[in-house]
Amino acid sequence: MSEPFDLPLASWYRGEMPSKLAVREPRPRARAFPYTERHLQCVWYDPSLRPVALMTHEGEAVEVEFPGEWNLEAGPDFLGAALRVGPGRRRIVGDVEVHIHARDWVAHHHHDDPRYRSVVAHVTYFPGTLPASELPPGAIQVALRPALAARCDFSFEAIDLAAYPYASRSPEPPCRVELRSWNPDQKQLVLEAAGQERFRQKAHRLACRIEEAGLDQTLYEETLAAFGYKHNKAPFRALAARVPLAELRERCGGDPLAAQAILMGVAGLLPEKISGGWDDETRRYVRQLWDIWFRHRDRWANDTDVKLAWRTAGIRPANHPVRRIAAAASLFGSRNQSWIQSLAQSEKDPDHAAEAASRWLKSASDPYWDRRMGWGRPPLMRPCALVGPDRIKLFVANVWVPLLLARGSTDVAKALLEGLEPEQDHQIIRQTAHYLFGPNHPRSWYSTACRRQGLIQVFQDFCLNDRSRCEACAFPSLLRVWREQVQSAQSRDG
């Protein structure tokens, strides 16, 4: 197998890389506590506010090496914290959840939510304890109020909630200190290099998978994973493994409805019962799917015993897994495998490569789901695409470009990268940009798709581990080496 494409900047980025690297909460009652949980989150996050003399409910001293990454999405308040506990200073690493009262853990149903299984510390304002059985094994319980009461200089009124989590980061990360003297072009060059390396790595993984499973199955797996985005990527990959594309084609016989029935049946997303509130069209549609699924379900009897962990809470109706499965069935279940023509056109016509991929995804259609956001929901006045423009952008960046590179279409991929639309901002992009450039930097520095991918790559290479290792992080020294190389090259060219 030939190595996928490589670019000088990608090589430069990884050239000196160490081998080891490669909810809103309800407002509490005013009489009990006149502030919000966000105030407590700020206290936990900011070392200038957080008390030093913290104790567990059992009287063990707690030292905070790193409070965790402030989680702006569903799940624990802080991710990947590092704490030292007790006289032996045992080190525990995991997530942290912050509440006003200890009982809020159960009131918010965290005890039966799998997203909270990695919580190692339950931090509350008021002292109080929960039975160990309600928390993840080994989780400690810490109350802030006793330690805050001992500080005469502390006031909740002084906390600027709008300054968190980014504007308050202190102390400055060493990488930001190093980059402060760099000019904007040099900073953008680092992101460009990291982005190219990220695309190269994806292409290499895809090339290996193509050699193992074939082009058709690889695209099928990657497309389903892209449809799941981050919350349902894993169950979609599992679904693609349970129902290989070759078997899906054989069983559905070119009928997208049959493909949909099989995929939804294996996914465990077919409704078990007909609801009395559904309209006639929905009733007929579900019965059709079940009639098909009954003929195939024995093949996957063992697989369906192990349920796929779909996440639907907080997912927009248009992005619900059932609509994504309908899209996949339309794209891969019909006899017309138009993705082959789209890929061939992309390789021949770099200027329209993104359009070819977009046309293929936009062709996903289903007479029921084109106008429905859920089982039995009222029909929409106008059709809603099964694959919207934002998901198409993600697909082109995360699947189409790496696929072209994996197949050796380097020139096409380069041309596509130059005009690639950037993905939407998300927490990792904003967080890493803040680490590197501080709170007041121009967003134009990472306005391209490649540079945003670069921020993600830097985060995964250097920031993904807990930030207590900042002092020993290799990134600042690598930046110094890279800057010398850039300046040397510029001197030769000049």
Give tens-digit pLDDT for 42-79. 999 998 889 989 999 999 999 999 999 898 778 999 99
| Token pair in block for residue 84 | 């030292």
pLDDT given for residue 20 in this prediction: 47
438: alpha, beta or left? (left if phi > 0; alpha if psi -120 to 50) = left
Amino acid identity of residue 300, one-letter, is W
pLDDT given for residue 469 in this prediction: 61
Q: What is the Cα gyration radius of the chain?
A: 26
Cα–Cα dist 238/234, whole Å: 6
Cα–Cα dist 270/263, whole Å: 9
Cα–Cα dist 129/134, whole Å: 10
Cα–Cα dist 41/100, whole Å: 10
Cα–Cα dist 311/238, whole Å: 14
Helix axes 245-252, 256-267, angle to 10 degrees: 130
pLDDT given for residue 25 in this prediction: 42
DSSP state of 77: S
- pLDDT by residue for the chain (494 residues), tens only, comes to 445 556 667 777 776 565 544 433 444 443 457 788 988 999 999 988 899 899 999 999 999 999 998 987 789 999 999 999 999 999 999 999 999 999 999 999 998 899 999 999 999 999 999 998 999 999 999 999 999 988 877 888 778 776 777 665 557 888 999 999 999 999 999 999 999 899 888 888 888 889 989 999 999 999 999 998 778 888 898 899 899 999 999 999 999 999 999 999 999 999 999 888 999 999 999 999 999 999 999 999 887 667 888 988 878 888 899 999 999 999 999 887 778 788 887 777 777 788 888 899 999 999 999 999 999 999 999 999 999 988 888 898 889 889 888 888 777 777 777 878 787 778 789 889 988 998 889 999 999 989 999 999 998 888 765 455 677 788 998 999 888 887 777 677 66
pLDDT given for residue 170 in this prediction: 53
151 SS3 class: coil
What does each C-alpha distance from 370 to 313, 356, 395, 403 come to in angstroms?
A: 22, 21, 20, 28
Regarding pTM above 0.75, the answer is no
- The DSSP bridge pattern shows strands 69-70 and 78-85 to be antiparallel
